[in-house]
Structures are given as structure tokens and as C-alpha cells.
Structure 1
Amino acid sequence: MTKQTTIPPPAEDWLELDRQLCFALYSASLAMTKMYKPILSELGLTYPQYLVMLVLWQQSAITISDLGGKLKLDSGTLTPLLKRLEAAGYVHRERDTDDERRVLVTLTQSGRNLRQAAAGIPEEILCATQCSLEEIQSLTKRLQDLRSTLEVARAED
């Protein structure tokens, strides 16, 4: 790591669960996923499938490799998700004609139509957080910056 931070001697035990950033992030992630579950079940989606659809609604054709990079998931995790989305009629997978090693994922018309049904989800989640839009945007940016910093630190090790 390039940046060293000196941790002051703890006035209290730093190994308490509630002092752990990792646990705060983990438990907040669990709470967020639980918030999404009933909303997404109305659309017939799981949370990971919703994340895939979010990417595809921005970019209607993408390789599995690029999709995995955006979602920070490996192909072993993505393939079953994509198979279920394909069985539901939302996506189509096919080999790239230019490079048979690559598999392209594209939205079907049903997948494109699902976007309209999902349009109210962000507002519903925003209301549940009881945060302002500015607070959510700031928190999202800070978490993205933290993720980037941690990725760089891990790459340096």
C-alpha cells in the first residue's frame, strides 16, 4: 500500500464488531438486498438478475466478460444468472461471429419492456433510505471511491 495511516491507540477495543467498517458495509448490503427482494419479486427478478438488467438497459449488447467486469462477478457466477434470464425471455446469448470464444448477451424485446416496469424502483429505494437525493449521490460516490482505493491496494499487495 502506498498510503500509510497511523491508527491512534484505541481508547476502546478496535476489534468490537460495531467498530468494523467491513461489518457496517456487509450488514448495510444485506439490509439493502432485503429491501429489494419483495420489489423485485413482483418483476420475477432476483437482486443479482436486476443488476445484470441494469447493465443491459444501459448497453443492450455486451460480452459476458465485460458484463462480469462491470458487476465484479466471474463467468461461473454470471452463467447461471444469464441462463435464468434467458429462460424468462429477457436476454439472448450467442457466440460472437467475429470471435467464437466470446459470448454476447443482448436484451430481448421483453427485456427492454421490463425496464418500464422497473422504472419506479430507484425512487422506492430512495424513500426507504430516508435520505435526500444529494445524500444518496454523495454516499454512492464515497463508496465507489472506497472500492477503487481497495482495488488498488489489493493489486499492490
Structure 2
Amino acid sequence: MKKAIFVFTLLCISVNLFSQQLSYQDTIPGTYQSAMIKIAQNYNDASKVIQYKDKEDGLIVLKAAFDFDIPFSWGANKTVDGMIYYSLTITDIGNNQLTIKMNNFEHRSHGSKSFGIITTDEEPNGKTSQTKGWRIKVYNRMKEYSERNYLSVKSMLSDG
């Protein structure tokens, strides 16, 4: 019995080791100062989302979230509606250029079906009572929302 538990534990660990967290990164036109201004203009309370800033190093780190809702007519259980939290790192690399990286996407529902960390895997790690097809459909929607939010933030921060 101990062998079976050990093998099962090893299998679970190895599955998690090969999962890659969803992450986006680009270089865009902009400066530390322009990024700070745009953050202040576009986030409801910039002081709550900015976790770290260092003008000298040209570094800004944000932790924020966006809404995640599944249309009821889509047939999904409304218990997955909630928020997707993320980290955003902005680095001024000089020559009017910023690198931006958005990662650490994590789904937290208002109900009982949080999917947790969003990875590049086809299906989420967390299992629910719904069918595998339903879980994959919802998980893909989370990835679409995450990418759409990243592109929106990228556009907002870009000077070009």
C-alpha cells in the first residue's frame, strides 16, 4: 500500500512539474514615467495594485485582477464566475522601451469552482463534478480572457 501511495504522489508531483504557467511577455515603446501615468489613469486605485516600484531601476510590479464571467446561456454553471488575478512586471530598459511580463494567472470563483493557477495545459489540474469537456471549455475561456486582458494592458501601456 505504501508503494502505491508513493507512486501516486510521485505521479502528481511530476504532472505539476511539467505544467507551465500561462505567461505573456513583450517589448513595447514607453518609459517608466509614461507607464506610471498610464497605470494611474487606468487602474481604479493604482496604490492598491502597485506592489513595488523603483524609479532608479525602472521597475514596476503590479498585482491586479479582472472579472471572469461565463454567460449563463452558454450552459456553464455560474459557480465559476469570479476573478482572474495576475502579476504584471514592467521594466524600463532604456531607449524609450519597456519590457512587460504578465503571469501568475489564478482563477478564484465567487462560488465553489475555483480552477486555481492557469497553465498552458489543455485541461485544468482541479477536477469538478462537471464533465471533462465542460472543464476544458471553461478553462479555454479563462485563457482567452487572460490573453485579451494582456493585449488590452499592452495597448494601454504602449506609447506607440
TM-score between both structures, scaled by the size of structure 1: 0.28
Higher relative contact order (CA 8 A, sep 6+): 2
Which structure dedicates a bigger proportion of its chain to strand? 2
